[in-house]
Amino acid sequence: MALLTSALIGGLLGAAITRSWMTPATPRSREGATASPTSGRSGKPPQHSALADALAGDGPRSRGADDLDRNIRRAGQDPGYLRDLLRRYSFETDLDRRGALLAILQGVANDEVLQLGRQLAGNPDPDMRRSGLALLKAFPLDVAEVRDTLAQQLRDERDPALLKESIDMLAPAVVASEDAAPLLERLAALRGHADAEVRASAVLQSVRWNKRGDDAAILEAALLDPDIAVRRAAIAGIEASGARSDRLKIALLDIAGDARTESDLRRSAAFALQNFALDRDEYALYRDALARADDRGQALPLH
């Protein structure tokens, strides 16, 4: 009977592990994460309960969110357990177990987790670098070590996918202009990168981090990019920043009225134009662009 029970439990656990998947945690301050660990972008921890049970291996557990919270608390209070999790994360190849380890370590988000993230981010292996970046996502950009590591990634990374991931991690933070300068410098260079997705991400983050009030110049160049992803990012940047200039308006009118351009991009350009002052001729072009862009009878309001 004992053997049958053991086999049944093992089978259920194995099935649950197979269904587990990696879920990123919410960036948090190092102090807040250490004092009262939480997880999940919406305040609800990711569900890794069965796998967390297997990792902890110290007796029966409750199911659901409490399981992850218990592992986070234990790792925050037990240095030996945390060291074991860090070691296992560094070498784990199974995606399910790595996902559960990541969720716990992101929930702890203390100095030890930060140092491992920085170490892995500098590894020659791209998969290891990706694992390091995943840990660093648990920290805000007002942490100097995180900023420095990402600035180095923006300078040294040669893998376009990892480079884009590093750029996308630059959530705006309130920092001294001297501390933001290295990031802005690298973003300016990456706006000319050979990979269009990298350029697009660099355009958006440049606008988010730039406090000098010259967003229009950045966006004017991006609107002329041959790749649609970059032009789409530029239009999103116009909406986010409120940048205005005659050149931006002319470029948006050109995109909105270009029959060779995708209708979604033309509609986005027309939507952005609603926040610009338009003379009668420009307004006529705007109305015509809306009519041409929307071939499904879902035109934007004609003011």
Mean pLDDT estimate for the chain:
82
Report yes or no on whether pTM surpasses 0.85: no
pLDDT, one tens digit per residue, over 24-64 is 444 344 444 333 333 433 344 445 445 545 564 543 344 45
pLDDT, one tens digit per residue, over 206-243 is 999 998 888 999 999 999 999 999 999 999 999 999 99
Longest dimension (CA), the chain: 86
Q: What is the pLDDT of residue 50?
A: 54
Residue 262: how many other CB atoms lie within 10 Å: 14
Q: What is the pLDDT of residue 187?
A: 97
pLDDT of 4 strictly over 70: no
Q: Of 28, 27, 23, whose CA–CA distance to 46 is shortest?
A: 23
- Helix (H/G/I), strand (E/B), else coil: 29: coil
Burial class of residue 250 in the structure, from the number of CB atoms within 10 Å of its CB (0-12 exposed, 13-18 middle, 19+ buried):
middle
Q: What is the pLDDT of residue 28?
A: 42
pLDDT, one tens digit per residue, over 65-87 is 678 999 999 999 999 999 999 99
pLDDT, one tens digit per residue, over 119-140 is 999 999 999 999 999 999 999 9
Q: What is the pLDDT of residue 303?
A: 44
Q: What is the pLDDT of residue 214?
A: 86
Q: What is the pLDDT of residue 53?
A: 52
pLDDT, one tens digit per residue, over 137-158 is 999 999 999 999 999 999 999 9
Contacts of 197 (CB under 8 A, 6+ apart): 160, 164, 229
Q: What is the pLDDT of residue 213?
A: 81
